[in-house]
Amino acid sequence: MRVLAAGSLRGVWPSLLRHFPEPVETAFGPAGLLRERIAAGEACDLFASANLAHPRALYPLAVIPFARNSLCLTVRSDVLQQGDNWLSLLTRADLRLATSTAGEDPCGDYAQTLFDRMGDSGEGVRARARGLVGGRHSAPIPAGKLAAEWIIHSGQAELFIGYASYASRLRTIPGLTVIALPAPYNPCAEYGCAVITPAGQRLGMFLQSEVAKGILREAGFEA
């Protein structure tokens, strides 16, 4: 069985597959780019995406939702000022902000939704934000590094908007502070898989099981 899966599932995927009885070969990447590969003819049994739009564009009647995520803000700790919160940090013109690449990585699309929900202040934030990961021309994230960790520690930005499922790991990294984004502004990232073959159907059903939901919750997802 072959799967194309969103890069944000890379950490939890081995734990999931340990409870699935069939061998699975998985290739990870930004879901928007994976969608393009499938549309161009690349074969797979299941496509696990960090949104519902990409799998529905390919297989509108065969999409199974299986997890949810949200966004968080990671900050280089030494730039924090007394009284800073998520909004003051995002609107501070002296701080560089990075996101994933909108249109190619759903995480970047969710960041754009966040900016929409911020109203007028969000337009200024959108203008400053740079999509540094998750795009077809993005530099690869070094092995063993998280996107926020690499972007901030390599000096490319002081702020990074990424998935909240990484928050617990990011909080263990010296020099980084993770700040939650409030629900009215924070979009819900709904993960869905496109079932392409009968083999993919078996894996899709497993992803909806209580066992899989428990594993996803332990990894920081909602399920």
pLDDT in tens, 142-201: 999 999 999 999 999 999 999 999 999 999 999 999 999 999 999 999 999 999 999 999
pLDDT of residue 199: 96
The one-letter amino acid code at 124 reads: G
Q: At what angle do helices 106-117 and 120-128 cross, to 10 degrees?
A: 140
Specify the CATH number for the domain of residue 140.
3.40.190.10
87 lies in the same domain as 17: no
User: Which has the minimum average pLDDT: 3-7, 49-53, 57-61?
Assistant: 57-61
Buried b (16+ CB within 10 A) or exposed e, 126-136: bebbebbbbbe
Mean pLDDT, residues 67-72: 98
Domain that holds residue 91: 71-180
pLDDT of residue 200: 97
26 lies in the same domain as 89: no
Q: Name 171's Cβ contacts closer than 8 Å, sequence gap at least 6.
A: 178
Q: pLDDT per residue over 84-103, tens digit each?
A: 999 999 999 999 999 999 99
77 lies in the same domain as 168: yes
In a domain, 156, yes or no: yes
Segment holding 98, helix H or strand E: strand 97-100
pTM of this structure: 0.96
168 lies in the same domain as 83: yes
Confidence tier at 221 by pLDDT (50, 70, 90): very high
In a domain, 148, yes or no: yes
Structural domain count, the chain: 2
pLDDT of residue 40: 97
60 lies in the same domain as 83: no
153 lies in the same domain as 210: no
93 lies in the same domain as 175: yes
Q: Rounded to a whole number, what is the largest CA-CA distance in the chain? A: 56
In a domain, 94, yes or no: yes
pLDDT of residue 55: 97
75 lies in the same domain as 173: yes
Alpha-carbon gap, residue 49 to 194, rounded angstroms:
8
105 lies in the same domain as 161: yes
Q: Which two tokens stand for residue 127?
A: 């203008």
Alpha-carbon gap, residue 165 to 170, rounded angstroms:
10
In a domain, 122, yes or no: yes
85 lies in the same domain as 173: yes
* CA-CA-CA-CA dihedral for 59, 39, 221, 182, to nearest 10: -100
Average model confidence (pLDDT) across the chain: 97
Alpha-carbon gap, residue 203 to 195, rounded angstroms:
9
108 lies in the same domain as 162: yes
Alpha-carbon gap, residue 184 to 205, rounded angstroms:
31
In a domain, 115, yes or no: yes
108 lies in the same domain as 194: no
